[in-house]
Structure 1
Amino acid sequence: MARVPYVESEDVPEQHRDLLVSSLQDRPLHVYRALGNNPAVLAGLRGFLSSLWSDSGLTDRRRELVILAVTREIGNEYEFHQHVNIARDVGIDDETIAAVSGGKFDEFDGEEAALLRYAVAVVRGEVDDREHEAIAEHYDESAVVGIAALAEGYAGLGGIIDALGVELEGEFVGWKPGEGGGEDGE
């Protein structure tokens, strides 16, 4: 059970009601309904996440790979689950999702492998000169800032979700979708 109530549309000011609804799923999500207990914070987070989504300097595929790697690293089932579906929508197959979830970054090309390693290093607080140089070989300064912000933004969102006890809207797809699902994906 969530630690805060899931607000209804009528519980928030009119100017924030649309923020309870996922633009991709066209329905209210528990995460937004929980955050709706503080409509100003909901608005700020939605704006921040929207910027990360569109301004990180990554393709849709690479953005989703980063989000999957980060949410798996922090163990946040809610965001991982949501982004498995988004990843599939942008053409990422379950085998690739399972490779990200399993930390098998060597299975990716040099640029994507560097990107995934960097994203995980960011959330672990382990970015050193070597990690920075590896990502800088593939991305300019603007994109490196976007990637670091994307990684930490979703790590932060995952922490909020965990603190509030936000529940999935359905059954967890598993850490390795297509390989039996379940809690540990195996």
Structure 2
Amino acid sequence: MARLPYADDEALPDDYDIVHGQEDALAEEIDAEWWNSQPTVRTFANNPDLAQTHVTANVSMWTQTGLSPAEVEYVILAVSREMDSAYEWHDHVFAALDRAGMNREEVLAISERDTTEMEPSKRALVEYAFDFVREYGEVTDEKFEQLTEHYDDGTVMGITMLAGYYVWLHHVTAAVQLELEEEFVGWQLENY
């Protein structure tokens, strides 16, 4: 059971400026109503200002890193898998498969930590994210250089901040014991 209740509906805003500012870069269903239905936002809204900050930061991480929607999900899934974060993994399997255009084989490769068949830029993303988690942010020179072979400096900064944001999000959701509202999709997508 979660340690904090969902905030009352009155604590949730009717709108988020960032959603309108980035609506062309977001999937059609990502609007204020969608955000206000998310367990993270409903829990974080125990502090309404920080719930709004979360939405702003999250949308920024999805749209301003310099990555495609699929590349964003590669990073998030790699962080989630390396941290064994069932909560993040579950949500982002659906984001990857239903909104970002990834396929099951790509998601399963991340779950199995098998980058051998990935194209080089995707391999660099996933291995960088794995290393980011394993080394508490102190990625090796090898993984950093591998990433810079495929992405410019601004995008490398975006990738790093995206990985850091999802490490942070895992710790916050774990601390408040946020639980899935439906059956876990599974590390092998057995419940997808």
Q: Structure 1 residue 131: deviation in Å?
A: 1.4
Aligned sequence identity (%): 37
| Residue in 1 that maps onto 2:132 | 122
Superposed CA deviations along residues 79-123 of structure 1, whole A, max 9, x for unmatched, are 111111111122212222111011101120111101110111122
The residue number in structure 2 matching 1:98 is 108
Query: What aligned pairs does 1:148-167 form with structure 2 within 5 A after superposition?
Result: 148-167=160-179
For residues 102 and 120 of structure 2, the distance between their equivalents in structure 1, rounded to whole angstroms, comes to 17
- When the two structures are aligned, how many residues end up with a matched partner? 175
Contact 1:29-1:169 within 8 A present in 2 as well = no
Residue type of the alignment partner of 1:9 = D
Q: Secondary structure at the match of 1:113?
A: helix
Please report how far the alpha carbon of residue 6 of structure 1 lies from its aligned counterpart in structure 2 after TM superposition: 0.9
Pairwise CA RMSD: 1.9
Matches within 5 A, 1:104-143: 104-124=114-134, 125=136, 126-143=138-155
CA–CA distance in structure 1, aligned partners of residues 164 and 188 of structure 2? 23
Q: Tell me which amino acid in the other structure corresponds to 1:8.
A: D
Aligned partners of 1:118 and 1:135 also within 8 Å: yes
Question: Structure 2, unaligned stretches of length 5 or more?
Answer: 17-28
- The 5 Å alignment of 1:42-121 reads 42-89=51-98, 90-121=100-131
Amino acid across the alignment from 1:49: N
Task: Give the alignment's TM-score, normalised by structure 1.
Answer: 0.87
Give 1:3's aligned residue.
3
Is the alpha carbon distance of 1:18 and 1:7 closer, same or farther for their aligned partners in structure 2, counting shifts above 3 Å? farther
8 A Cα contact 2:183 2:191, kept in partner: no
Aligned counterparts of 1:17 and 1:134: Cα–Cα separation in 2: 43
TM-score (norm 2): 0.84
Secondary structure of the residue aligned to 1:175 is coil
Q: CA deviation at 1:135?
A: 0.5
Moved beyond 3 Å, runs of 4+: none
Hey, what's the Cα distance between the residues in 1 that align with 2:172 and 2:101?
28
Alignment partners' CA distance in 2, 1:6 and 1:75:
24
